[in-house]
Homo-oligomer: A and B are copies of this chain.
Amino acid sequence: MSVLAVGSIAFDTIETPSGKVQDVLGGSATYFALAASYFTEVRIVAVVGEDFSAEHESVLKKHNIDTRGIEHASGKTFRWGGQYLDNLNEAKTDFTHLNVFETFQPHIPAEYADTQFLFLGNINPNLQAAVRLEMNGVRLTGGDTMNFWIQGARGELIDTLKLVNVLLINDAEAKMLAGEKSLPRAARKVLSMGPSALVIKHGEYGATIFFREGAFGIGSHPFRAPALPVEEVKDPTGAGDSFAGGFMGYLASQGDVNREVLKRALFYGGVMGSFAVERFGTERLQNLTRQEIDARFQVFRELTHLE
């Protein structure tokens, strides 16, 4: 089954201890779509400016990503600049030029109406809700958010969470959203806001999925996927979106959403996140094979597997 990503396409300027790149293709929908493309058919809804060329689009098309939902607006594409010189775990933003993204109104092409798996990237929660309400036939909705919306649009975000089945955020975001320092308590509080499952991403330590009691009919025991200790993190940008792409892409590829599938999806999320950070921008995600992905899946599995 196909998965639809709604989010941003951007040109990123990134500096890390490993080097610097300028105006490379990025954005949440781009990372997500490339990561998910190794598992299933991917559709994308986003907005770009006149500087988004056919060559840029071909990066997505090469991965059989359906780009009919990309709106071409007059003006420039969203641009972001940031650096991780002091801390690889946290970006310091140098500039944010929203450009055409500032007035983004997602339009769902008629051809996408049969989408069953939907991912709402980190955009205004009102837009996330509007997309979800428009997509009646959706079977599972994943969503992302960030501190900007948790603090600045809390009411809207809480309304949107009622429409999201699986929320994917990091430790700090979960604790901020719940107003709780204990992770299991924060998880319970977030799950009480609507989602059936909450994936908390721990960066280099992996991720944990918490389930609401009775959700998916699979009990409420959490599950944790470890991450590989990565030799050198060249560029952490997009790791979370790549995680979401691996997670949702694998779910969509399986159709049946049960405990074992969700566990494997969590591992595949970690696998795609670990690949993404090995090169700048989306370079590594553009040049993978399913064999490489499954080999790393096995490494992750072995990493914590007791006989």
Contacts and interface: CB of A to CB of B under 8 A. Distances in A.
Contacts of A222: 229, 303
A306 B301 contact: yes
- Report how many copies the assembly holds: 2
Interface string A182-207: 11110100000000000000101110
Nearest to A225: B304
A223 interface: yes
Interface string A90-131: 000000000000000000000000000000000000000000
A99 to B, nearest CB: 34
A230 B184 contact: yes
Nearest to A203: B205
A39 interface: no
A61 to B, nearest CB: 34
> Looking at A182, A304, A305, which has the most chain B CB atoms within 10 Å of its CB?
A304
A224 B303 contact: yes
A204 B226 contact: no
A231 B182 contact: yes
Contact of A226 (B226, B233, B302): B226
Interface size class of A (residues with CB under 8 A): 35 or more
Contacts of A226: 206, 224, 226, 304
Contacts of A206: 205, 226
B306 A267 contact: yes
A204 B54 CA distance: 47
A224 to B, nearest CB: 5
Given A205-B202, A206-B205, A307-B260, A182 B224 contact: no
Interface of A: 17, 88, 181-185, 187, 202, 204-206, 208, 221-226, 229-233, 260, 263-264, 267, 301-307
- The 6 tightest CB contacts between A and B, nearest first, are A205-B205, A304-B304, A224-B226, A184-B229, A183-B229, A224-B303
